[in-house]
Amino acid sequence: MSAEPTAEQGAGSGRSAGSGSGQTLLEVRDLAKHFPLSGGRLLRRHAGTVRAVDGVSFELRKGETLGVVGESGCGKSTLAKLLMRLEEPTRGEVRLNGRNIYELTGKELRALRRNVQMVFQDPYSSLDPRMTVGDIVGEPFDLHPEVEPKSGRRRRVQELLELVGLNPEHINRYPHQFSGGQRQRIGIARGLALRPDVIICDEPVSALDVSVQAQVMNLLAGLQRELGLSYIFIAHDLSVVRHISDRVAVMYLGKVVEVGTDEQIYEHPSHPYTQALLSAAPVPDPSVRGQREQIVLSGDPPSPASPPSGCRFRTRCWMATQTCADEEPALVVRDRTDHEAACHYAAAREDIVVRRD
């Protein structure tokens, strides 16, 4: 396998698609986060609103990986903060095991913090350079002492290091003594410390050399099979996401525009934006590269402070009509399956029915 994942490589190189149990673990409904813009000399005048996340809905099933893909500024990182409750929503809800996380307080909120962990994008800045690896991986136990008693913490930290492919004898080393890929493994070990059900991976391989990206993704896939984890895997590259995801949600300007399984998104993309992202993915085989049409989008993404009317993608879409400007497209379901797309042209096809729930 090439060191760099491509759009033609399926999940088989790292895991088997469709491994989720079907039981809904995390449910997101109409989630939105709007940030006010200030203006004027004293920055007191309301100058607008940035709609970073604007009505996102999806489900995460137990034991599966949901990839969230989109270009910079589409709201992926804000979505991750909302799921971690590092930001409070403007509207909407997130239900973990049936309970709205925004209604939790006290001990219940602490339990949420334990059950949902994050692996950050930059392995260099996410680890405190003044702390040893043992202190970094064991720090969650200071906040949740009920998980591991003090007498067993060193042993547990060494087990976690070994679990992610690191030498447990390096527990007293500092982050600068490890490579970028090894540092990200340390971050993964820290995320596993509290035995969470859900791990949110916010572009965990984008800062790594392509030679180690597949290694880290294979590690995550192996940990999922062994520990029964559920992942939300955020990335801007559809090639990377396919390597690990069961289902994929494509975001554009604060909204989800298409959701489907690995095969549905990569073999039968419905939304023009998804088609454009796939056409930009690297193809190592010259014969395939020459046969595939490349879609070049015109212009830059609109500002989330002033999104276009109707379909937000219409200003860059080669199929846009006046209908796209007048009416915002609803999510539609293809062939009565879980493949959804928010596009008027998709909704007009005979094999698609409008989503009613």
Give 310's DSSP letter.
Answer: S
- Alpha carbon 75 to chain centroid distance? 10
* Domain residue ranges of the chain, discontinuous segments joined by +: 269-356
CA–CA separation, 271 and 265 (whole Å): 9
pLDDT in tens, the chain (357 residues): 344 455 555 434 444 444 555 799 999 999 999 999 876 565 566 678 999 999 999 999 999 999 999 988 899 999 999 999 999 999 999 999 999 999 999 989 988 889 999 999 888 889 999 999 999 999 999 999 999 988 899 999 999 999 999 999 999 999 999 999 999 999 999 999 999 999 999 999 888 888 898 899 999 999 999 999 999 999 988 888 888 899 999 999 999 999 999 889 988 888 999 988 888 776 655 555 555 567 778 778 899 999 999 999 999 998 899 999 999 998 888 665 778 999 988 744 444 443 433
61 - beta bridge partners? 24
CA–CA separation, 273 and 238 (whole Å): 12
In 3-state terms, what secondary structure has residue 323? helix
- Alpha carbon 304 to chain centroid distance? 19
Angle, helices 153-163/180-192, rounded to nearest 10 degrees: 130
Query: 225 with 19: CB under 8 angstroms?
Result: yes
In 3-state terms, what secondary structure has residue 119? strand
Give 30's DSSP letter.
Answer: E
Q: What is the pLDDT of residue 43?
A: 58
Q: What is the pLDDT of residue 111?
A: 86
Q: What is the pLDDT of residue 334?
A: 62
**Side-by-side strand order, sheet with 255-261:** 116-119, 198-202, 230-235, 65-69, 247-252, 255-261, 340-341, 332-334, 352-354
Query: 335 with 324: CB under 8 angstroms?
Result: no
In 3-state terms, what secondary structure has residue 342? coil
Cβ neighbours of residue 103 closer than 8 Å, sequence gap 6 or more:
none
- CB count within 10 Å of CB 30 equals 12
Q: What is the pLDDT of residue 202?
A: 93
The residue type found at 240 is: V
- Residue 273 tokens, joined: 């934006």
